[in-house]
Structure 1
Amino acid sequence: MNSKGEGPCACIASLCSSRSAAGGTASAHGVDMGSLVKLGTWGGDAGLPCDIAVAPLRLESVSLRWGKVIDWISFTYRDRDGNLHAAGPWGGNGKGEGDETITLGASEYVTEVAGTVGPIGEYARTVSSLKFVTNRGTYGPFGRGAGAPFSVPVLNNGSVVGMFARAGEFLDAIGFYVLPF
């Protein structure tokens, strides 16, 4: 249970399908995701799938709890009609070493996400660190960072506008919705 009394995440099995991450489009719950590209996941296959049901246009904030690994993540985003949506928290209720909320400025957008995937306890692969790079600066890394690195740079002024995941006791895997410009 997470701190809001919900299950390990507001997860929806088999919510999304996607075509090629090399330029295909994504769909969620039959909702047209337009020109979004769905990239990932990075991490393991434990936990349940977690996803969003409304196409994101702009990432507004990211919150996470971290320690040896990322315990949970949540975020807010706006859709094409300007409505604000909240996703998560996806993951467990670990005590962690730190809680962080990143609130993006009006003209700020995420240009890269980097992190590591590593073991904790019986789990061979969980998201062990995350770092968010924007057109204005860098946030993180959060987590201890043990494991294999990954990086998701967004080219040609595109931006990360949302996330999807696998989560249970921890954030087991993470992927990203990218909006090309």
Structure 2
Amino acid sequence: MKSRNREMFKVGPIGSKQYYDKSWEEKGRNMISSIYVAFNKDSIKCIQFSYFHNGVHVVSEKHGSSKGQSYEIVRLNADEYVTGLSGIFWERKVTSLTFHTNQGKHGPFCNGTGYSSSYMADYKKEIDVKIRDRREFGGFFGSFDDEFDGLTSIGIYVYPTYDNKPTLNQAWDPLYAFAHNQIPTIADGIPVMHIRYKPKLKDRIFSKLDFKRAMLCLIKVFLD
């Protein structure tokens, strides 16, 4: 796996830090082992992470208030990594939060608005940029506010990777690498992927036939 121009970018957040100035960053800390969540019936109060950095197990600062009535620990498996988030931002605070990983979901935590899920559907937001490699997750960021004693926003960093060695099934498509390696365009802080090239069925069939002919020619050369 080779990389070039690997500048991390922010995706999200769920929530808003428009009225708050207490931002927090866990940029580059992608080897998350545990996530600690404190909450009450109304909102997410505090979040904290433990992760591996340079071979050492490190615990982050607490982001938010420690006044939560309930506490949960999300323990990730050794081969598990974060791929996204979903949650609800209601009345200037994060009232529900779910962590998405390559092995499933952890949460939701809190769900404390008191309204039906159908009513709150318009306030729910999901961050999913199709992370498929641990190296693509680049850590968390967010904000909190002392007045409301809780988390007001949370998002993730994404670290683009570029695979210059397509699989055998991809090798027949000459434009695969071009489409696969495009960098997302950032619009209002949200990555927008370019439309990927997808050849027509007849072109794919002819390409496969050409590939088979080439292989047969190579075999014939070796046999001769």
Partner of 1:19: none
Q: 1:47: how far off?
A: 4.8
Q: 1:9-56 CA deviation, whole Å, 9 max, x = no partner?
A: xxxxxxxxxxxxxxxx8xxxxxxxx5433222221322511113x622
Change (3 A) 1:76 1:161: farther
Distance in 1 of aligned mates of 2:31 and 2:58: 10
Question: Aligned residue pairs: how many?
Answer: 141
The residue aligned with 1:94 is 67
Tell me the TM-score normalized by structure 1.
0.68
Alpha-carbon shift at residue 156 of structure 1 (Å): 4.6
The C-alpha deviation readout for 1:66-107, integer Å capped at 9, x for no partner, is 12110000112234x3333322311113233x2011111110
Within the alignment, does 1:163 sit opposite 2:140 as a pair? yes
Q: Deviations over 1:100-154 (max 9, x none)?
A: 11111110112221111012xxxxx111111112222221100125351110113
Specify the SS of the correspondent of 1:155: coil
Instruction: Answer 1 or 2: which has greater helix percent.
Output: 2
**Matches of 1:117 and 1:48, distance apart in 2:** 17
Matches within 5 A, 1:79-118: 79=53, 81-96=54-69, 98-118=70-90
Q: Does 1:175 align with 2:152?
A: no
The gaps in structure 2 that reach 5 residues or longer are 114-119, 162-224
2:102 corresponding residue in structure 1: 135
Matched to 1:58, the amino acid is M
Alignment counterpart, residue 129 of structure 2, candidates 154, 165, 169: 154
Percent sequence identity over aligned pairs: 28
TM-score (norm 2): 0.56
Partners in 2 of 1:43 and 1:77 — Cα distance?
24
* Structure exhibiting the larger radius of gyration computed from Cα positions: 2
User: What is aligned with 2:176?
Assistant: none
Q: Is residue 84–residue 156 contact of structure 2 (8 Å, CA) maintained in 1?
A: no
Taking only aligned residues, the RMSD between alpha carbons, in angstroms, comes to 2.3
Look up the match of 1:21: none
Separation of aligned partners in 1, 2:13 and 2:155: 4
Q: Structure 2 vs 1, CA of residues 101 and 93 (structure 1 numbering), >3 Å: closer, same or farther?
A: same
* Structure 1 residue aligned with 2:215: none
Change (3 A) 1:36 1:164: same
Match of residue 51 from structure 2: 77
Question: Quick check: 1:71–1:170 contact (8 Å CA) kept in 2?
Answer: yes
